[in-house]
Amino acid sequence: MTNTIKQIFHSPKFVVGFCIMAFILLSMIIYPLVNPGNPLEMIGLGSFQKPGTYVSLYDSIDSSSTIFKLPDAENNRISQKLKDEDRIAIMNWLIDYGVSESDINLSDTNSLLDLWWKNYDSSILVEGMTKAKRNYYMRLNKSLESAKRTEEYVVSHTDKELNELETVRTIENTDYVNIQDVANVKRLPLGTDNFGRDVLKELVSACGTSLRIGLIAGAIATLIGLTFGLLAGYVGGIVDDIIMFITNIFTVIPSFVLLLLISYSIGQDQRGASTIALVIGFTSWVWTARAVRAQVISLRKRDHVNLSKLSGHSLIRIIITDILPYIASYVVMAFILQISTAILAEAQLSMLGLGPKTTEVPTLGLMMNWSMLYAAHLNGSWWAYFPVLLTIALISFSLNLMNTGLDQVFNPTLRD
Amino acid sequence: MTKTGNNEIYSTEEKALCLSGKGVTKVFGSGDKKCIAVNNVNFKFHEGEFVSIVGESGSGKTTLSKILLGLLNPTDGEIFFKGEPRDISSIKKRKEYWKGTQAIFQDPFSSFNIFNKIDTVLLDCLKMRGVKRSDKQEQVRLMTEACNFVNLKFAELTNKYPFELSGGQMQRLMIARIFLLKPKILIADEPTSMIDACSRATILDMLLKLREEIGMTIIFITHDIGLAYYISDSVYIMEHGKIVESGLADEVILNPKAAYTKRLINDVPKIHEAWDLDTV
């Protein structure tokens, strides 16, 4: 036993898969401790807020400031406003105006803006330019000029008694606030989703739910498959015929279609994560049953089973002590694959809107469903679906890798 | 080895029948894939007799042995146990039958459950014999006695797994099992074919000693007609599921009538003689 475990942990494939899974599990345990709270809490008003650190503007006004004279500050301020399409538009205007293309360097913000300030005049009419385009350039110029401005901002609040504005403070362009002095800072490494919920927190919670669904469904599928396979393979005869008849019926009906129909007929209100896990488990045991049956048929004729019969052991005892240990490694592998298949099945179901009801728990499939419904893929909000996809892929990859690793340990003919 | 079959003084008429069969047939599959493994076989085994069933691979010896053990049901024909039709229809009756009928299998490496310790194998036999679980001293005494009988040391075997033993040791452990169970009938399915010649002699010697001690019937399945001649009282020659010749070992082997028996005898290599490989 110890030797087998040693062998398992010497298999590089198993170790890689195990490390990925351990990382996912550890994140699931540690992250909620660091960042507690309801994962489905809508913290942001607005959808698909970008990943990053959000600093409270309100609190930063009250925070003590310090002065930094940074040489790149102005350039950075302008560069932030200057999008790639604006740079191209500037270049096009300059070329149309008559500046040689070789003098323009798109990546050098300073030289590009120098050329712009030197040449642009809203009164100049470039030949062939539409009015809309001219207005665009006027707006762009205004935005760039505002970025160039050096005057301070004045923050004031209304004194209701006197009904006049009272200056609270003035903000210079050299004023800086230490982020630690700001009372409210929200770090959203993966931004927010369509409902303004923290995607990372949701993802960690969804991972847990999906793995739980996988475990329940995998355990049910393996248990049914194992029981049917053992009985059909060992007892044989009419029992085998009946079980194989049921198995064949399940084999010819595509299990995913069955899953869809059952999920649909249960109804949205009844569909919790556990119900979905049960439904997946009850529809995916077929191949385990067939595979276990095949293994048991080859085992039941072995002499050690005959010897056990001659020793007067009961059917249950023979199955438990003389058959089960021989197929245990296979069953473990089947279980791992079942978990992976169940997680994928949940994701597929939820993407089609037939997953667990959407108000209670997040699952990986539901997150995909939400981001798809709110067109995250069309508006470029990659953070709402890509991390989910990656997590599904990583879970599935790690489980399959562990399975292959185990297969190589238990089945030496497969070793590299 | 000297011939141990005791044909001169052995007479089947004096002994009671322990196992006999009439028209025993076993068919596997159906239609095009139909295979008649045992074809209308009749036999009579007497108490205390050492019977050999000889035939080449695929002649149906092992299938017949499984039918005799009650692990397979014959398709047709009837088996009689002590003159009465054998009834092993219920689990209880089967268990009772196996108290008196045991087996040694060909491959010692696959005969034991590799997940069970040797103690478990022997304790199962004691349980079958009705030794109380609580009586640890008696259990150890009996297991030590059984191991000593087969030249094994129980103290060295306890807590070991069968796969930690050699093939010869495993087969001896199998005999220790028989020693503990003391069955009336032992079906030995080529027990020596997978072990070396030295161990073979030891194991055969043990089997014969055991027969003397318990007075059991040994049904010895083998492909080695020479071996069968040396140790058996009577032999049954099987070809393609049928018994082509049977009788006392001396009569059948020294004076074979069936062509198949002659061929089998011819196939045994003889030292100092040229070996006719044409018939092999």
Query: Where exactly are the structural domains of chain B?
Result: 17-279
Residues 270-329 in A contacting B (C-alpha not used; CB under 8 Å) = 302-304, 306-314, 321-322, 325-326
Task: Give the Cα separation of B54 and B50 in Å (integer).
Answer: 13
Question: Can you name the CATH fold of A2-44+194-414?
Answer: MetI-like fold (1.10.3720)
Task: Give the Cα separation of A308 and A83 in Å (integer).
Answer: 79
Encoding tokens for residue A365? 């499939």
A368 close to A193: Cβ distance less than 8 angstroms: no
A interface mutation test: which of B101, B106, B115 has the most A CBs within 10 A? Answer: B115
Encoding tokens for residue B60? 């149906």
Q: Assign A414 a pLDDT band (cuts: 50, 70, 90).
A: low
Half-sphere exposure of B172 (CA within 13 A, CB side): 24
Backbone angles phi, psi at A187, to 5 degrees: -95, 120
Encoding tokens for residue B46? 């007497």
Q: How does pLDDT run across B71-98, given as a tens digit for each residue?
A: 989 999 999 988 888 888 888 888 889 9
Helix (H, G, I), strand (E, B) or coil at B22: strand
Query: Among positive and negative, which fits the CA dihedral A328, A331, A332, A333?
Result: positive
Residue corresponding to tokens 């045994």: B268
On chain B, the residues whose CB falls within 8 A of the CB of A321 are 113, 115-116
Task: Give the Cα separation of A416 and A413 in Å (integer).
Answer: 9
Give residue B14's pLDDT: 63
| pLDDT at residue B12 is higher than 60 | no
User: What CATH architecture applies to the domain B17-279?
Assistant: 3-Layer(aba) Sandwich (3.40)
- In which region does residue B240 sit, left (phi positive, over 0), alpha (psi from -120 to 50) or beta (all else)? left
| pLDDT at residue A285 is higher than 80 | yes
CA nearest neighbour of A322 among A310, A333, A334: A310
| pLDDT at residue A74 is higher than 90 | no
Distance from CA of B272 to the nearest CA of A (A): 39
- Cβ contact, residue pair A310, B110, below 8 Å: no
**B interface with A, Cβ–Cβ below 8 Å:** 66, 69, 71, 91, 95, 98-99, 101-103, 105-107, 110-116, 124-125, 128
Distances (CA, A) of A208 to A25, A332, A340, B101: 8, 21, 14, 57
Encoding tokens for residue B113? 């459950």
Helix (H, G, I), strand (E, B) or coil at A197: strand
Measured distance between the N- and C-terminal CA atoms of chain B, rounded to whole angstroms = 25
> Measured in whole angstroms, how far is the alpha carbon of residue A13 from the centre of its chain?
23
User: What's the ipTM?
Assistant: 0.88
Task: Give the Cα separation of A293 and A287 in Å (integer).
Answer: 10
Give residue A416's pLDDT: 56
Amino acid, res. A388: V
Q: How does pLDDT run across A75-96, given as a tens digit for each residue?
A: 788 887 788 888 888 888 888 8
B237 close to B264: Cβ distance less than 8 angstroms: yes
Task: Give the Cα separation of A77 and A73 in Å (integer).
Answer: 6
- Cβ contact, residue pair B113, A325, below 8 Å: yes
Task: Give the Cα separation of A60 and A178 in Å (integer).
Answer: 9
The residue extents of the domains of chain A are 2-44+194-414, 57-183
Encoding tokens for residue B56? 């080449």
pTM score over 0.90: no
Q: Assign A345 a pLDDT band (cuts: 50, 70, 90).
A: very high
Distances (CA, A) of A217 to A55, A279, A342, A344, A358: 43, 8, 6, 11, 19
- Cβ contacts below 8 Å, chain A against chain B, sum to 48
B interface mutation test: which of A298, A299, A304 has the most B CBs within 10 A? Answer: A304
What's the full length of chain B, in residues?
Answer: 280
The count of other CB atoms within 10 Å of the CB of residue A411 is 12
B interface mutation test: which of A299, A301, A308, A311 has the most B CBs within 10 A? Answer: A311
Nearest CA in chain A to B105: A303
Task: Give the Cα separation of B75 and B35 in Å (integer).
Answer: 12
Q: Assign A413 a pLDDT band (cuts: 50, 70, 90).
A: low
- Cβ contact, residue pair B98, A310, below 8 Å: yes
A211 close to A20: Cβ distance less than 8 angstroms: no
Distance from CA of A254 to the nearest CA of B (A): 32
For chain A, percent of residues with pLDDT exceeding 90: 44
Q: How does pLDDT run across A137-195, given as a tens digit for each residue?
A: 888 888 888 877 778 888 888 888 888 888 888 888 889 999 999 999 999 999 999 99
Task: Give the Cα separation of A199 and A337 in Å (integer).
Answer: 28
